A and B are shown apart, each in its own frame.
Chain A
């Protein structure tokens, strides 16, 4: 009753239609941009994953274990875990899927950082930029991740590229936020010292602010990588290959076993990546 009265005065705003036509307009207008990205970036990603796939698994296992040994300060814990974990994945016949997932996470994280750090810097330098960017970041993080899949498919078709696109939107905010926070938290006296000795804006940023903010920024990057990884399963819904696709197909067929195994594979990858990024951060902090 009340509803119909209200609707009589103000008819339903066609928000959904507007969004749809806007997306359609974007797709057709920028197809000259989207299509080459889809093609070249898609090829590049497959190439990367395939190249990784060509390397014998045992080589990668040993390389990762050795790197883990040194990056954690010559301790065996992570190295042993990485070796056994990777071996388990290979043993379960998920190695190729792992390579795809890793490629997806790696490339979307790198892109997130490349995009996120400059925006974080911009935010820290300008109150206006912060006022504009902060709510956008909130929007990006709270909107259910599935929603991004729809325009992603419209722009880039199906496969790895729209997966990267969706995970970019979902995973970039922590890097932006923590870069901003890190720079704003640089002690005022150090900023003043940089200025008092006649630094230019760029000198102040690169010689003082970014080095001081490094560990905070690294924490943001670590978060970004973890979020990118969590997008792997969701991205598989639009055809991104990898461990996520195994989870998804197990879900669709109600197969507990294979679903669990693929899930464990993702967890192992997550732990290895997490410890790697954290150790890299801790080591730099010490120096």
Chain B
């Protein structure tokens, strides 16, 4: 069951939203409606589901409606049409009190410019969500302290927000959101106001926290690199509509349309692609069965000067060079183990291409990709360069 289900969610800003709804049904675009009626379509019939414990990223350029969309999810903005179900409860049907309860217990929000109250101390800020529930002072103090500790800000509780750096302020924002122990976190461009290095730290920290928290996170961003780094799935928005939903790889490799393609063109692929995307099926010899003759024959067939050697259960043992193999044949040596070289560079499936550069630079043989010691693929220099060149002719193994 999906944690959050959104169906045909639409928001029109303007005086006669019903008229605009009709025009949307008639397949008119956001631009046409604006020109004709002066009304702005914020979100146009967005539908998606977010699974429990997932990081769902909504990304788009400014004006694409992503910030409106996230506010429709906790009804900071009331939708014009469509539904939001949280745990199968229809948000639109809720009265003010039920809605408050959802906001107090189930969903918390982290804001782009942190949204901290400048006249409250850090601790009082973190306590805010508990305070409005009229929770006992002692208990909320305890929870707020735990939350602050979680984001690494213990010791700052008596300071005021303007005494902290941007990164620390956003940690406070995160701590405040976590203090309620919500099931869903809405993060509206939460790291966009931070400088790039801090932003990366915060992304890592969020991922770290997520491994233990397992919250359902809806993360809004305009930064594709960020989306690809932290998203389990990504929804791409344009002009209020969702144009594609998929895993980072799906979006990168199979852009749904020109818009998405243009978007992903600029991505630094070296950060996104990992070993598994560029590895090839390896040619191998079985060290338990084969001798130098087979090894040489295979290398000749493939036109390569070295070959990886595995045992019968495909555990990587090392590699054999063509020179060594022909020497061995001359000397009547039949056991490959005697000419096995084992200083093989290995990576695993998830190693980002960034790291593979350095390895592949210094090694005469291809890089081996292993999983639990078993050889699953090899990476040759050409594949790395081709993937970076973003050449659509290159066949990537996705």
Contacts and interface: CB of A to CB of B under 8 A. Distances in A.
Interface of A: 187, 189-190, 192-200, 203, 207-208, 211-212, 214, 287
Contacts of B112: 189
B119 A200 contact: no
A195 B103 contact: yes
13 contacts: A189-B112, A190-B117, A192-B76, A193-B109, A193-B116, A196-B108, A197-B176, A198-B100, A198-B105, A200-B132, A203-B132, A207-B128, A211-B117
A207 B107 CA distance: 20
A195 to B, nearest CB: 6
B104 interface: yes
Contacts, number: 63
A198 B182 CA distance: 12
Given A197-B103, A198-B100, A198-B104, A207 B132 contact: yes
B133 A287 contact: no
Contacts of A287: 119
Given A197-B103, A197-B129, A200-B132, A192 B117 contact: no
Given A189-B113, A192-B111, A197 B128 contact: yes
B76 to A, nearest CB: 6
Contacts of A192: 71, 76, 109, 111, 115
A198 B132 contact: yes
B103 A198 contact: yes
Contacts of A214: 119
B201 interface: no
Interface in B55-80: 71, 74, 76
A64 to B, nearest CB: 29
B175 to A, nearest CB: 13
A189 B129 CA distance: 15
Lowest 7 A-B CB distances belong to which pairs? A198-B104, A193-B115, A198-B103, A196-B109, A197-B129, A198-B100, A189-B115
Interface of B: 71, 74, 76, 100-105, 107-109, 111-119, 128-129, 131-133, 176, 180, 186
Contact of B132 (A187, A190, A199): A199
Contact of A196 (B74, B105, B118): B74
Contact of A189 (B101, B111, B133): B111
Interface centre among B101, B114, B129 (most CB of A within 10 A): B129
Contacts of B186: 196
A211 B119 contact: yes
Contact of A212 (B105, B119, B132): B119
Contact of B129 (A198, A200, A212): A198
A277 B100 CA distance: 38
Interface centre among B102, B119, B131, B133 (most CB of A within 10 A): B119
